[in-house]
Every structure is written in structure tokens, then in C-alpha cells.
Amino acid sequence: MPRVGPKVFQIIKFAYHGCTNRQFFHIVLLDNKSPLNATPYEQLGTFDPLPNIYNEKLVSLDVERIKYHIAQGVALSRPVEKLLGLAGLLPVHPMSYITAKRNRKKLQAEAAAQSEDKNSDHDEQS
């Protein structure tokens, strides 16, 4: 019987290039089995998830090459799918909708709590 090895395919994913408490990611094309610090086939962008002084999360993407690789059928990791959805290259990821919904709910709950607090204060004063 021939032994079937692990399925190896190429994937676009984040590679951690920061240090402790300071994330910084390269968006790279790698084999799914290779470690994240491996030399990538190609670097396709960067992502800095920590907001800077202008409250911006900086992303750079090599759109042409990413399009090319997507057309070639390489896989995309979930964070990359989310990022590309927000960038407008792919449809928005379902999880982004869910996160947004959760955030909305949280905001609504906070607002409701604040209004309740105000009402209770008003009642006490009256």
C-alpha cells in the first residue's frame, strides 16, 4: 500500500514579526506545514494591528500578486480572509458580521445601562 503523506498546499497567512506585546505581521505565501518563521515564497504585505497615534491600523497589500495567487487557487487563512474582506478584495467575512453584531449589542447594552443609571439617578433626586 502506498503511504499517503500529509496534504501540503500553499497558503497566504500572517507571519508574526513582532516581539512581546508588540504584534506585527507579514502577509506571506507559505506551505501550510512550514513554520511561520520560515523564508516565505513571497511576501504579499504587512499588517500592524496596534493602532498608531492617529488611531489607524496600517495595512499594506500587494494587490496584484494577491489576486494572482487567489486565481492560482492558493488557500487563505481565516485572519487573511477577514482582512481581505475588509479591504474589499473579497466579500466580507461572516465572522466580521458576527463581531460587528456583538460590538453593536455591547454598545446598545452600554447605552441602555447608562440611560437606566440616569433614570435611577433622576428618580432618586425626585
Partner 1 sequence: MASCLRLLVETSLKQQALLVSACTSRTPLVQSVRFRKPPWVPVAKSKEFYVRKPTPVDQEEYEELKARYRFYRSEVDSVRQFLAQDLSARQHNLEDQDLRADEAEVSLMMQHLQEWNTHVAAVRNERQLQEQLDHEQMLKERLANQEKQRMLDAERALAELEEKEAAAASFIDPDKLDEAIEKLIDSRKDYNFAITKSGEKLFGEYPDRKTPESHKQS
CA distance 30 to 43: 9
As beta bridge partners, residue 45 has: 27, 61
Task: Give the x/- contact pattern for partner 1 in 4-43, rule: CB under 8 A.
Answer: ----------------------------------------
Residue 105, Cβ density class (10 Å: 0-12 exposed, 13-18 middle, ≥19 buried): exposed
Residue 78 lies near partner 1 (rule: CB under 8 A): no
Closest distance to partner 1 from the beta carbon of 52 (Å): 30
Return the range that interacts with partner 1 (CB under 8 A); candidates 12-20, 53-61, 88-96, 118-126.
88-96
Which residue lies nearer to partner 1 by CB, 20 or 125?
20
- The amino acid sitting at 99 is T
Q: How far is CA 25 from CA 11, 36, 59, 114, in A?
A: 15, 10, 9, 38
Residue 63 lies near partner 1 (rule: CB under 8 A): no
Residue 126 lies near partner 1 (rule: CB under 8 A): no
Positions that interact with partner 1 (CB under 8 A): 67-68, 70-73, 81, 90-91, 93-95, 97-98, 101
